[in-house]
Amino acid sequence: MNSQDPTHQSPPPEAARAILVGVDLGRDAAFDPTLDELALLAESAGDTPVARIVAKRKAPDAALFVGSGKADEIKLMVQALGAHTVLFDQAISPAQQRNLERHLGVPVADRTALILEIFAARAQSFEGKLQVELARLQYLATRLVRRWSHLERQSGGIGMRGGPGERQIELDRRMIDDRIKTIKERLKKVERQRSTQRRARARNGVFRVSLVGYTNAGKSTLFNALTKARAYAANQLFATLDTTTRSLYLEEAGSSVSLSDTVGFIRDLPHKLVEAFKATLQEAADADLLLHVVDAASPVLTEQMEEVERVLAEIGAQHIPQILVYNKLDLLEPTQRPRELQDWLPRLGGEHGGQRLPRIFVSAAGGEGLDQLRAMIASLMQAAPVPEYAGQAVEDTDGETDEYIGDHIGNHIDDSSEVQQDLTHDLPEPKDASGHDRGEQPH
């Protein structure tokens, strides 16, 4: 076939074959010996896990993290399976990453890099892209040790992998720092817009409800089921990065509330990422009520709930009333289904003084329990100290109308605004510690 034929399309690139590595250091209660979550992260980043290796050490090896013996074992497996990359479930230092890549002969990444890569691929809104860029640059800056490596600029992309049409340029520390400063300033402008919106809702007595929970717990599916919206929902990690707010009419209360879908949390969520997404997470911190969505079918739901509580405390939202929404009731075996679909549960964490939270089991996909959940929200709203005119500013003419303050609140910053106009070029694409992209073979 003529290579110049415009109808000819190249086959999609083969997914990188990845070997997963986890190290039990004995002091991490959240260690996952199955590496199932790391496998989901790898798949979400476009990799194909082909093997899993678990090691046990009292402390990380300073040079190779896993020690020379285990590193040799991984190298043999890389060669035998034709692996393209090795992914670690724990954070590794820049020096350890460089040493491992030289030893193994393939790119190496850790959990933090994977999460950042997924965020980069999933961010859709202007604000979301800015937040991801900030976290990514802050993380990768630590990988550019001693002298700054070449950085790539890829038109139209914010991911961490290479691609055609890349142009390498030399950047020094000051240029990177200036870029981070610029992004922070732009995010401050976005936060001022969000703050204005939140104050408007508060002045008009709109009761604010936010969905929070571990990633892939079904928050977006529940959001769509309650509001009849069409927010993106999928059985994957971090399907939602950008906050979406819709009106939810509660017949039991005779008024509407604003319901916001927010980014999911995950174990070892990088602090810099939480910090970068402060403007988005503020939607949860300023809510009147949190719907803490839990995957009732998860074998590690307690650990996932503890992680959500940790992040809520980090963003200052630990004091906000909660409803525990145990989702995916339809996935439970008959013997696992609770006798009562509504009850009270002690809140995790001793700092809450034995506080008990209302719990309800629902199936966002099947609709079971949603009427009862609406009634529970209405009951808590009516008990809250809000003005009599709460909800009057929220119109619900077609079931999908956003709040009065704008179209798709928090999801789309006006592209013609001063903030959007300020972003006039793509961000540079940094390389990792050894000067290459994660998908590129080290030399």
Query: Where do we find the tokens 């969505």?
Result: 293
Which residues are within 8 A (CB) of 35 and not within 5 positions of it... i.e. 6 or more apart?
20, 22, 52, 54, 89
Residue 30 has pLDDT above 80, yes or no: no
Amino acid at 347: R
Question: How does residue 239 score in pLDDT terms, banded at 50, 70 and 90?
Answer: low
Across 321-325, average pLDDT: 97
Q: Among 3.40.50.150, 3.40.50.300, 3.30.750.24, 3.40.50.1970, name the CATH number for the domain at 204-383.
A: 3.40.50.300
Q: Which two tokens stand for residue 324?
A: 């525990």
Residue 400 has pLDDT above 50, yes or no: no
Q: Which two tokens stand for residue 410?
A: 């928090």
Residue 175 has pLDDT above 90, yes or no: no
Rounded CA separation 167/184 (Å): 25
Question: How does residue 10 score in pLDDT terms, banded at 50, 70 and 90?
Answer: very low
For residue range 86-102, list pLDDT tens digits in order: 999 999 999 999 999 99
Q: Look up the CATH superfamily of 16-106.
A: GTPase HflX, N-terminal domain (3.40.50.11060)
- The full length of the chain comes to 443
Rounded CA separation 270/266 (Å): 9
For residue range 257-309, list pLDDT tens digits in order: 999 998 888 888 777 778 777 767 877 888 999 999 999 999 999 999 999 99
DSSP 8-class letter at 362: -
Q: Give the model's pLDDT for residue 410.
A: 33
Which residues are within 8 A (CB) of 421 and not within 5 positions of it... i.e. 6 or more apart?
none
Rounded CA separation 8/255 (Å): 56
Residue 399 has pLDDT above 50, yes or no: no
Sketch the domain layout of the chain as residue ranges. Answer: 16-106, 204-383
Rounded to the nearest 10 degrees, how much is the dihedral formed by the CA atoms of 206, 212, 216, 222?
A: -30
Cβ 414 vs Cβ 420: under 8 Å: yes
